[in-house]
Amino acid sequence: MRIVVYSRNAWLMHDEAALALNVVRRGFVELLAPLDYLQTAPPLFLWLERAAALTLGANEWSLRLFPLLAGLATAPLTWRVGRRLLPESAATLAVGLVALSPALVQYAALVKPYALDALVTLLILDRVIATVEHNAGASQWAALAATGLLALVASTPAVFVLGGAIAFVLATALIERDRTLAWRGMLLAMGWGAAFVALVATVFRPAVADDTSTGKFMHWYWAANFLTSEPPGITTKFLALLWGALPHTFFGEAVIPNATTLFLAAIVVGVVVLVASRRVPVALLLTVPGTALIVASMLRRYPIAERLVLFAAPLSALLVATSQLGFRYVRSQRAEEWLTATATVAILALAAQGSVTQVELISSGHGSRVLVREAAAEHARGAPLWVSGRGESVWRFYTRPDAPPSQPRDASLAGLFGGHELEPDLVIGSWYSILPERILPVRDDTLPAQSSEWSATEAQRIRALTRPCALVFLSNIQPGEATALLTSTAALGGRLTRSFRSSDAELHEVCFENHLQQGGRQVPSG
């Protein structure tokens, strides 16, 4: 599935292009500084992307290579970890859930770090289990310590998984009354903790501080996605978190009624089975990361969204698979085998259906890529051009990826999203919808599809560009955006003479036949 999606070579979306521009423009050391275009990503992920771009060129194939490799590695590593913890039948279910997860399939073909997050989780599990359960020597403990340090610079949520690893080590030491193991666990905790604090104070600071543009944007953008009492309430938010992290991650569009309840029940059964079989350290290893995530979100330190909790997908898959061991309490071995096989087939059939649907939803067309090149060719021949705010990163990546970014006029949100003139006869419009992410849709967030204050301002910008025509390029289009803009340009006397549309991009030529050029041109400010 992952290779199929990767082979379609879809054009970059807004966030992908924005992150890619940082990778293309900067050196390895510069990637440690605050990123442009309000982007954040772990340093090791950025370095891998930079290495791919230098080696294979700055294109979709190279930039998506490491996410693909991370995605492909998750299934075999899940099998390796699963066999350390579970019998073969249960490990098979865990592997199937991870391999067929629509969310993991999707992010294995995007220039984003979420596929790597899941792989890092599995690497931590594999190393800590192998080190503790096999009475490893000093070299293996050093390898575990190094794995944890690398995880912190490779995956933002890795700190939660490392918390589970520490709990696993200390619980094992307590049960076995092993003081040496306890001391090693505490040394790991101090070393990893000190490294995490140092990263938050330096490399990660721009994303969390209130006095930086990126930090200010992040706090505003994720404000509604913490497990706090603000509307729609902590219970509703928690249920949305469970839905996104469990049924929607593993079933996608094939989700069935009451799937959240069924997944949660399976996880609870899995934990009970582990505790009943005196494997409390393993139960802590698999549940502490999720618990730490919930606490961090309640403290407004980590927002909740499906992609941000994708690191926990292998943990959930292993716990769901562990629940199959509960069938052992059925007296008949034949009934146990039948129940195990039936549950596995039913779960993986839904996962496969969701994965196939996800692949079908992903565009295989050339989208913005072709329209950008058409617009760039005409602009080079003298045609004025207006580019939508959300299309700026796509435009830059496919035309001038090495050009320095235009800096915001101020650190306010209006300054970050306001339109600006990129060069003579090329204007970047202000963003159509400047809305924070919501854990649940909000009706008031839907903007009008007809003319609005935004579309009236941008139509004036387009009219000021015309000689007497101008090109209008929109990418990563929001619902109602194109309709509102074209309605407002028509109200000013604009006439569409040509239009090209793809799955998520549009290119129009708008002419104002009665528009008279007067002495100079002013582009209205946003």
- Average pLDDT estimate for 401-406: 75
Q: What pLDDT, in 10s, does the model give residues 451-476?
A: 688 899 999 999 999 889 999 999 88
Q: What is the pLDDT of residue 479?
A: 83
CA-to-CA separations, 446 to 293, 304, 307, 443, 481, in angstroms, rounded: 30, 22, 23, 6, 11
Q: What pLDDT, in 10s, does the model give residues 103-146?
A: 999 999 999 999 999 999 999 999 999 999 877 889 999 999 99
Which class would CATH give 367-511?
alpha beta
User: Does the pLDDT value for residue 41 go beyond 90?
Assistant: yes
User: Does the pLDDT value for residue 356 go beyond 60?
Assistant: yes
- Average pLDDT estimate for 344-353: 95
Tell me the pairing of strands 385-387 and 426-428: parallel
Contacts of 439 (CB under 8 A, 6+ apart): 224, 225, 232, 237, 240, 241, 304, 305
The pair phi, psi for residue 87, each rounded to 5°, is -70, 170
More reliable by pLDDT, 419 or 250: 250
Mean pLDDT of the chain: 89
More reliable by pLDDT, 424 or 54: 54
Q: In what order do the strands lie in the sheet with 420-423?
A: 420-423, 426-428, 385-387, 469-475, 505-511, 495-501
- Average pLDDT estimate for 317-344: 91
Q: What pLDDT, in 10s, does the model give residues 307-330?
A: 999 999 999 999 999 999 999 888
> What is the rounded end-to-end Cα distance, in angstroms, of the chain?
43
Cα 510 from Cα 471, distance rounded (Å): 6
Rounded to 5°, the CA angle 212-213-219 comes to 85
What are the structural domain ranges in the chain?
2-361, 367-511
Write the DSSP assignment of 370-408 as a string of letters: HHHHHHHHHHHTT--EEE-GGGHHHHHHHH-TTSPPPPP
Task: Return the closest-CA partner of residue 317 out of 111, 2, 1, 85.
Answer: 85
Cα 179 from Cα 185, distance rounded (Å): 10
User: Does the pLDDT value for residue 331 go beyond 80?
Assistant: no
Percent of the chain with pLDDT over 90: 71
User: Does the pLDDT value for residue 413 go beyond 90?
Assistant: no
- The pTM is what? 0.92
Cα 81 from Cα 85, distance rounded (Å): 7
User: Does the pLDDT value for residue 411 go beyond 50?
Assistant: no
Q: What pLDDT, in 10s, does the model give residues 357-384?
A: 988 887 655 667 889 989 999 999 999 9
More reliable by pLDDT, 517 or 55: 55
Residue type, 3: I
Q: Which residue matches tokens 């562990």?
A: 322
User: Does the pLDDT value for residue 515 go beyond 60?
Assistant: no
User: What residues form DSSP beta bridges with 510?
Assistant: 470, 496
More reliable by pLDDT, 296 or 502: 296
Asked if 506 and 482 count as a contact pair (C-beta separation under 8 A), the reply is yes
